[in-house]
Structure 1
């Protein structure tokens, strides 16, 4: 053992536009890293403003406030004695770049702009940023005067360069650059860079983590080196949940891995590693021949050594310890990811709980169980003494700041913040009403049971009074138009009632505030358009809107055992039905019969359409190969045509679909134009304080009447 260094990376629960909170979490991570003896700290992508600012990145205020936060970090004593890699947008020569700012002891060492931008799926980085196209080149960047006063620097290196300490060399790689075929770490490593930092804003998707882990391991398996991966964690104000899982790898093997789902706002992952192991791994003739021909990177030199301790002084249990990567099963991911997302959304929205129409079917059941999973996570965090979770839980539950209430029982906490309601009609069955009641009792929700026939009848009678014609269901001899309209009346009235109860149930219980309404349409129903526009699928947020019916069933089976909820077996055994048509001796409405396709088929259609980029013809060709052993080409053709017909004619519904937790690559969620988050820190503490400070210094030129002057 020769050159031991302790390094730290982190997952931070940053929030778009929350400059004050983001600053505090960054500082907390630096303090924790230093307490562990780390001399290098890496943070998530765009951690100062939050990754999900979207079109706010085009506003000068976002860049200004980012510099202001960086100024506070630079002038702090906490950020001395350690190299910190921090993310923010930077305008260089009137061009906006997504950058890493590497600092040390009140100085900026390097500003490294991102070279390969993520611009597909959920990402639109090219909308806001420009990639740095001058590879292995750098320029001088003139700093804002507020920074010059702190650093005594007028200009600093900006571009594709590396940082050279007294004992090693550090190179920066940003998120998408790891996923590109020719990743920058290859060329940097050939030129002698031994430590690579990667700062990401990578969202959760079912079954996605494996790819990320394998790429991080592969990055240094052939090349050799130390790789630090940082990631954002939590709901940043939009559909995505950033799932953390900060990691450190050495020579292709993990030595540290953080949690993928957590309610912690700051999680620091650290390890002590030996630079000599990197050098020994690279001692291969063929690698040396290639390295000798490598093009040179500009090195920004800093008179600081990362390896500042003798090996006998280090007692880090991570030293020379290799880990097998930890993965959650998809069922566990559903139990954890959407639950963490719901908690962040609830606490940051300032609402006092959730409300859902509980139908007795598997979709609303899954949504309710995910909410119960959230309560379980909150209870666990409170038992572990998480001060932030305790404070948020007390506020949401209606307790005073000085209260000693500690929500350690998930059912008791669920009773306080989760409200369920069965909205029955004459078309509802005894079975669904009973399942809804038993589920609410099992998870502890505050449950209401009602019949809405009088309201439905009133609307139906009103139409008959106005038109002179009274619509009938199909089983009563009515047309398809009548049958559909009568179903939609029930569905849309449930939405109206849901918002009424969400606004007033806290008042009924002697509390203040309102509830957020949860939607429960799964990704397959959205893809097929099997929902009524502005029905009870219209809500504030939807935790299962990006999850397939197939995965939801697996999740319910998992939760039945892991959460000790035997009632869930009844939901798994039940036939999916909307219960919007009358039940007769010969007819019970079935979702799959109504859709003309099964949920399993819908999942396949969705993946082919989005992930494999198939149009109708190429989808048909692939399915002939996959399904040809049990369906004729004509049958397959009819299924493909029906899917695309229904998808196309119902596509308009996606423009109003409830914002849903993103979990599947084939989500049809529509979010095209005004790309801004929909969950804001509404008091804007940093921005409003600055307004107040400046306003206090300006002369009062008004007429004293407090009214705007009219033209």
Structure 2
């Protein structure tokens, strides 16, 4: 049996960043060569970036990707490399893994099964390649094999299945490739983060190696590539069902490489689907370090750990890839804005831990003041700006909560009152309509004007600092429109729009009491964790509480999931509600909750259409641009609930 070093490379790429993507790929190839890797698997569509959206339909994108491929080719001496790009063939576009070996392009192997659910729209751009179909494509390098091929190199047979291919059960290519004698199977992937999804990818990798009774090499993308989706950056090398190397997820580095030396079955036969690559495996004279998962992967609160690390990395990548100089947050002292402020702080802390101060300066070298700072503390104060914008309806408790968190983190924090602006606008309208506004007649009007008047000031801070303004709405609020357009929805990105309010509150308590990896705790969250969620837009004497305005958040979240993940009718949602909560609420109350949810859902689609882009972190979302489309005008689903 030949002994060979297999390598999986993780890459943090940017759509259409030809120079940068190419440089990161070449750097990883060179690292793999230095470490005597024989086969290197890189992620799906890593030449272009996975998130090119409709730019895939432009011939220019494929042409530029091909130019990059030609420039990478000379760097593949003494190694076999898989990397992904889009290729037009016979008038159709395919998602292809290119096999490069010893400075030659051996084959282009297209994806057979396309992801077309959730955040995926691959069939909009690509075509599935039929199994067993093989042909040739005319290129600047001559006629190149394209199709369902195997590669024979150094005495072993190598196959490929690209991302979704591995999720197809009995139809996954691994089964057919096993019958055709493959002993190494590579899986270039672009599989986005969602809670616990990495365990499924890990299981599919193990199953793939068991199917072929050989070695499986899995490589995923890393980081916030194109705005909404975050990639874990997980990579696995599996031999006959045993993981022998894996990456550490959510790295803040540009790339990560894992390697393992394995014994694989040899093959010397010939067949029409078997292409020969002229490459000899390096003689191994080094022992590879142990590539193992981070300790937090085994934590009891894995969901909280994943949320913190995924969103922190998403925020970090978003700020640097947009060439912004930091973040601005309207810090109300409530749960949502406190969570976002904490996540920004964690982004800096995790980056500093992994990259060091010098590494941060290199990443952020576009910021003119970055080299003038002398400490991490100064960096936090420049990067993160918070503002408490009180009114006569704001409480001392929320002001204290905002101040405590800002001081704990070290943000540049402001505290001002906007009552003069509220009264000015109120006076203008009262003069125009010829009457005084009152809470009895104009409740929503008087609430919304406060929320909206908080927006211009923080936008000014964002403009002054060349920073990103972060919107503070969560998924629970989005489902029922419990947010003020051009108020708390203002921002360049909405970091927690993909997660529910109940989890946010739970996560904040965990961050205060336990923290990341049991060490990075946030004592400054003690104030917010003692408060009941309130918009604080009505007079304090009214004792406004979110759940009294709406319904208990666990009930809201349950209806939302049943309706839009499980796709149940309003009547079935109500039936489930009565079964689950009937011992705590009357049937009349539950009917009211359900009717209110669907009435507010249907009338507020226009708000969801206007929300700032949010991160996809759960197994579903309400984002109409990437997951859930709903008519802006509809009859109102509450009518389907019979009292």
Same fold by TM-score greater than 0.5: yes
Corresponding residue number in structure 1 for 2:136: 140
Are residues 1:355 and 2:305 paired?
A: no
Of 95, 98, 101, the match for 2:98: 101
Cα pair distance change 1:318/1:347, threshold 3 Å: closer
| Whole-angstrom distance in 2 between the partners of 1:239 and 1:247 | 25
| Whole-angstrom distance in 1 between the partners of 2:21 and 2:528 | 42
Corresponding residue number in structure 1 for 2:250: 261
The 5-angstrom pairing of residues 32-71 of structure 1 reads 32-71=31-70
Are residues 1:667 and 2:621 paired?
A: yes
| Whole-angstrom distance in 1 between the partners of 2:538 and 2:185 | 61
Q: Is the 8 A contact 1:366 1:552 kept in 2?
A: yes
Of 578, 603, 618, the match for 1:649: 603
Shift of 1:626: 3.4
Render the CA deviation track for 1:60-94: whole Å, top value 9, x for unaligned.
110110011001011x2x31110010100000111
Corresponding residue number in structure 2 for 1:309: 283
Render the CA deviation track for 1:411-434: whole Å, top value 9, x for unaligned.
432111110000000000111111
- List structure 1 runs of 4+ shifted beyond 4 angstroms: 321-325, 628-635
Cα pair distance change 1:317/1:18, threshold 3 Å: closer
| Whole-angstrom distance in 1 between the partners of 2:581 and 2:341 | 36
The 5-angstrom pairing of residues 99-498 of structure 1 reads 99-133=96-130, 135-143=131-139, 145=140, 148=141, 154-181=142-169, 182-275=171-264, 298-306=273-281, 308-309=282-283, 313-318=285-290, 326=297, 329-383=302-356, 386=359, 389-393=360-364, 395-396=366-367, 398-400=369-371, 405=373, 407=375, 409=376, 411-473=377-439, 478-479=440-441, 482-498=442-458
Of 519, 530, 552, the match for 2:471: 519
Corresponding residue number in structure 1 for 2:87: 90
Cα pair distance change 1:634/1:666, threshold 3 Å: farther
Shift of 1:502: 1.8
Shift of 1:233: 0.7
| Whole-angstrom distance in 2 between the partners of 1:615 and 1:32 | 54
Gaps of 5+ in 1: 149-153, 280-295, 507-513, 676-711
Cα pair distance change 1:500/1:260, threshold 3 Å: same
SS at match of 2:369: coil
SS at match of 1:450: strand
Shift of 1:346: 0.9
Cα pair distance change 1:536/1:29, threshold 3 Å: same
| Whole-angstrom distance in 1 between the partners of 2:165 and 2:260 | 24
Corresponding residue number in structure 2 for 1:287: none
Corresponding residue number in structure 2 for 1:606: 560
Render the CA deviation track for 1:204-229: whole Å, top value 9, x for unaligned.
11222222212211222354221111
Cα pair distance change 1:623/1:191, threshold 3 Å: farther
Shift of 1:317: 4.6
Cα pair distance change 1:69/1:558, threshold 3 Å: same
Cα pair distance change 1:396/1:556, threshold 3 Å: farther
Corresponding residue number in structure 2 for 1:699: none
Cα pair distance change 1:325/1:488, threshold 3 Å: closer
SS at match of 1:533: coil
Q: Is the 8 A contact 1:8 1:270 kept in 2?
A: yes
Shift of 1:555: 2.1
Shift of 1:309: 2.6
Shift of 1:559: 2.0
Of 656-665 and 613-622, deviating more is 613-622
Render the CA deviation track for 1:482-531: whole Å, top value 9, x for unaligned.
00001010111111221122223x4xxxxxxx121011111111112111
SS at match of 2:454: helix
| Whole-angstrom distance in 1 between the partners of 2:293 and 2:231 | 25
The 5-angstrom pairing of residues 535-684 of structure 1 reads 535-560=487-512, 561-562=514-515, 563-584=520-541, 587-595=542-550, 597-631=551-585, 633-671=587-625
Render the CA deviation track for 1:154-181: whole Å, top value 9, x for unaligned.
1011111111123211111000111112
| Whole-angstrom distance in 1 between the partners of 2:319 and 2:461 | 17
Shift of 1:630: 4.4
Cα pair distance change 1:385/1:497, threshold 3 Å: closer
Shift of 1:19: 0.7
Cα pair distance change 1:495/1:384, threshold 3 Å: closer
| Whole-angstrom distance in 1 between the partners of 2:293 and 2:155 | 24
| Whole-angstrom distance in 1 between the partners of 2:254 and 2:434 | 61
Cα pair distance change 1:556/1:582, threshold 3 Å: same
Corresponding residue number in structure 2 for 1:502: 462
Q: Is the 8 A contact 1:255 1:323 kept in 2?
A: no
SS at match of 2:394: coil
Gaps of 5+ in 2: 630-643
Cα pair distance change 1:630/1:399, threshold 3 Å: closer
Render the CA deviation track for 1:370-390: whole Å, top value 9, x for unaligned.
00001102221343853xx32
| Whole-angstrom distance in 1 between the partners of 2:219 and 2:504 | 30
Cα pair distance change 1:118/1:448, threshold 3 Å: same
SS at match of 1:273: strand
Shift of 1:648: 0.8
Corresponding residue number in structure 1 for 2:483: 531
RMSD value, Cα: 2.4
Q: Is the 8 A contact 1:42 1:86 kept in 2?
A: yes
| Whole-angstrom distance in 2 between the partners of 1:463 and 1:56 | 46
| Whole-angstrom distance in 1 between the partners of 2:236 and 2:357 | 23
Cα pair distance change 1:242/1:434, threshold 3 Å: same
Report the number of matched residues: 618
Cα pair distance change 1:537/1:234, threshold 3 Å: same
Of 490-499 and 51-60, deviating more is 490-499
SS at match of 1:440: helix
